[in-house]
Structure 1
Amino acid sequence: SDTGMVMCLHIGTGFGALKLAPDAPIDNLIILACQISSLAVQDLLWGPAMRTYPDLKFAFSEGGIGWIPFYLDRCDRHYTNQRWLRRDFGGKLPSEVFRDHSLACYVTDPTSLKLRREIGIDIIAWECDYPHSDSIWPDAPEFVLNELNNAGATDEEIDKITWQNACRFFNWDPFSEIPKERATVGARRAIATDVDTAIRSRKEWARLFAEKHPETI
């Protein structure tokens, strides 16, 4: 952001916010991780940290963006319909305050990207999530570009979502150390030809590691 501090929230309030059955599969936690961010946003937007601290910004890591359109519609409807609660958003709608303070990060969200302008083209940031299992490494550049192209994103929108929004939000110049022409996917891959990006089973990886590092056995 231009001014102020950025608080990075990883999966919102955490898995502790979910009350699942004792024998619930781990799939429930992984799939519902993005929805947890809406609980954190509710606390911050209505709590009211976003109104009390105008320079405080929030980056919602791995929160996805699919929940945002419905959530903001619901907030604005509640604010305008329940005026007897006398909430003060400084002359703005809750959705406007949310966009003033937030950076919404996603790994893959093909359907929601079609609503990128409604969500806010300046508050969306793509993330790789390497080395977690949600990551789309090692083909992330091709994957994210294909997803954005399928959503009909323009070159300007692609630049915003893939790097410009994040750089502005964190007030970071990515080309201060590496010139832009040397920071492209092709340029970075060209200097990393010795990096093994093959996808292997854990058993195969362990075997190869043991061969290269017999002293660890």
Structure 2
Amino acid sequence: MEKIWANSGDSHFLEPESLWRDSLPPRLAELVPRSEKDADGQWETVHIDGMSFRRKLPTGKAKEFTEASSRAPGAADIVKRIPDLDQEGIWSELVFPSLGMWSSSFRTPEVLREALKVSNDWAYETIDKYNPRLVSTAQVSTLDIGDAVAELERCAEMGYKAVFMPVTPHPLQKDYNQDDWEPFWAAAEAANIVLAFHIGTDPIDLSKGGSAGVVYRGPGGAVLNYTETTFGGQRAVMKMVACGALDRHENLKVLVSEGGATWVPFVADRMMEGYRQHAMAVRPKLKREPKEIIYSQVYASFQHDESAIAACTAMGFNNVMWGSDYPHMEGTYGHTQETLHHLFDGVDPKVKERITVGAFRELFPDVPELPRTTDATNAALV
């Protein structure tokens, strides 16, 4: 089976668990997340930013799921990561963080600001500088917009090309459709930074026993919760279009990772109908139609969705991008080539090229270009 090479718009790296504690001054280090497990291994107490709460540890199938992300050799080892990618046929990838998922649990702006600086310095030195095929996403505080702007500009000077955005900002901050965020959108456009929203990143109130990704319980809960994670990215795009942020900043690019692609034409059509049929109530008025804004500035990545290709071939949405979600359980690690062949065998070569390579390079043109022949590729990987 001939290897299909692709760029990935979605992957993750597991930072050292002690990164923040080891790198921050003691008065701040004591406020970052740490846990104490009970002697029986059934419960743990989590301490973060002056708060403490208890939660039950996963067992059985749930435990298998939480451990799945560490099974790939390069999940937390940068030296082993490139061999993993070469084996799978992934040339370049956008890399999201892991520790940053705690961001919405902080309440002290200084602690979150300094912790994310540590993460950004570490990721750029450890990941981006190791190999130009790897593109890390910077992290910024959504608790304090001023801090977010300052860190975005600092990271842009370092060389970052994308910033990770949770689909909903910190619960103590205004939502993305509010004017408060205008300085951040302007800074991202000026720095040519891609806004990379990752699904499943709605804030969770851990102090009330909430668990990441758990909305439904009972019959069908696993499928319901997995499906539910996709909607946050759609809402983030809707907010940025409806409030005029993308209309004002025509060069600003948005990527929604791991959320599929066929939702984009639907949301575009739905927003067009709302804008047209409820014109008397619509504020603000946009210079361009919602569909034009979405189709020109929004990108979407998927991993297994057979329907995603139809978004490009039958619905006119050209900013479709494949992603492996390495090394997560729902990703393609271990069967990437089978997945790519299933998706693209028989597909128009131009469409295949656009989805596997072109859309990614449009967002990140500085990434080394994928060699065009098998011999050249093999030579480049030696």
TM-score, length basis structure 2: 0.42
Match of 2:193 in 1: 5
Q: How does 1:32-43 map to 2 (within 5 A)?
A: 32-43=228-239
**Is this contact kept in 1: 2:216–2:225, CA < 8 A?**
no
Seen in structure 2, the aligned counterparts of structure 1 residues 56 and 115 have a Cα distance that, compared at 3 Å, is closer
The one-letter amino acid of 2:357's match is: W
Seen in structure 2, the aligned counterparts of structure 1 residues 6 and 120 have a Cα distance that, compared at 3 Å, is farther
Answer yes or no: is 1:51 the counterpart of 2:247. yes
Seen in structure 2, the aligned counterparts of structure 1 residues 144 and 121 have a Cα distance that, compared at 3 Å, is farther
Q: How does 1:56-75 map to 2 (within 5 A)?
A: 56-75=252-271
Seen in structure 2, the aligned counterparts of structure 1 residues 30 and 183 have a Cα distance that, compared at 3 Å, is farther
Answer yes or no: is 1:102 the counterpart of 2:298. yes
Q: Of the candidates 116, 121, 128, which is equivalent to residue 324 of structure 2?
A: 128
**Is this contact kept in 2: 1:72–1:95, CA < 8 A?**
yes
The C-alpha deviation readout for 1:32-63, integer Å capped at 9, x for no partner, is 22222111111111123212222221111111
The C-alpha deviation readout for 1:51-99, integer Å capped at 9, x for no partner, is 2222221111111113222211111111121121344221x32011012
Seen in structure 2, the aligned counterparts of structure 1 residues 129 and 29 have a Cα distance that, compared at 3 Å, is same
**Is this contact kept in 2: 1:103–1:169, CA < 8 A?**
no
Q: Distance in 1 between matches of 2:213 and 2:331?
A: 23
Match of 1:213 in 2: none
SS in 2 for 1:114: helix
**Is this contact kept in 1: 2:312–2:351, CA < 8 A?**
no
The one-letter amino acid of 1:172's match is: D
The root-mean-square deviation of aligned C-alpha atoms, in Å, is: 3.2
Match of 2:285 in 1: 88
Match of 1:117 in 2: 313
Q: Distance in 1 between matches of 2:260 and 2:244?
A: 22
Looking at secondary structure, tell me which structure has more helix per residue.
1
The one-letter amino acid of 2:215's match is: L
Q: CA deviation at 1:129?
A: 0.7
**Is this contact kept in 1: 2:311–2:317, CA < 8 A?**
no
Q: Distance in 1 between matches of 2:336 and 2:376?
A: 13
Q: Distance in 2 between matches of 1:89 and 1:118?
A: 27
Seen in structure 2, the aligned counterparts of structure 1 residues 160 and 142 have a Cα distance that, compared at 3 Å, is same
Structure 1 unaligned segments of length 5 or more: list them.
192-217
**Is this contact kept in 1: 2:200–2:213, CA < 8 A?**
no
Sequence identity percentage: 21
Q: CA deviation at 1:111?
A: 2.6
Seen in structure 2, the aligned counterparts of structure 1 residues 166 and 120 have a Cα distance that, compared at 3 Å, is farther
The one-letter amino acid of 1:54's match is: E
Structure 2 unaligned segments of length 5 or more: list them.
1-160, 162-189, 205-211
Match of 1:181 in 2: 373
TM-score, length basis structure 1: 0.71
Q: Distance in 2 between matches of 1:108 and 1:15?
A: 26
Answer yes or no: is 1:159 the counterpart of 2:356. no
Q: CA deviation at 1:107?
A: 0.8
Count of residues paired in the alignment: 185
The one-letter amino acid of 2:293's match is: V
Match of 1:202 in 2: none
